[in-house]
Homo-oligomer: A and B are copies of this chain.
Amino acid sequence: MNDFGKTLARIREFRDARDWMQFHNPKNLAISINLEAAELLEHFQWKSMDESEQHAKAARDEIAEEIADVAIYLFELADNLGVDLLAAVNAKLAKNEAKYPVHKAKGSAKKYTQLH
């Protein structure tokens, strides 16, 4: 059941049974991805990094749900645009591997434009 393609099929089916494609244009989906991402971040509001680590364990199920909310809209947006999400992720990883060579980027949080 937890296969990527089957998950995508279930997202489409859920939407179409409710006739929601009319609301799910790219702009609205991008907005909803942002709103769900904010609900995820809200879990860590005002918390130190240590408290965030602890909270991530203690509230793992609620956080997993917020992650899922982002993922559902993200998977659907990719699908609606005809984008193969896993291929896009792998293509971007290849790009990042080139932009952030290990010998320059190791241990540094700098942006690639600031790496020497």
Chain A positions near chain B (C-beta within 8 angstroms): 1-4, 7, 10-11, 14, 17-20, 22-23, 25-28, 30-35, 37-49, 52-53, 55-57, 60, 63-65, 67-72, 74-75, 77-78, 81-93, 95-97, 100, 102, 105-109
The 5 closest A-B pairs by CB, nearest first: A38-B38, A68-B92, A27-B52, A2-B86, A46-B109
Are B109 and A23 within 8 A (Cβ)?
yes
- The answer to whether residues A89 and B107 also contact, given A25-B53, A33-B41 and a CB cut-off of 8 A, is no
Are A49 and B70 within 8 A (Cβ)?
no
* A78 partner, pick from B64, B69, B81, B91, beta carbons under 8 A: B64
Are B33 and A106 within 8 A (Cβ)?
no
Are B45 and A28 within 8 A (Cβ)?
yes
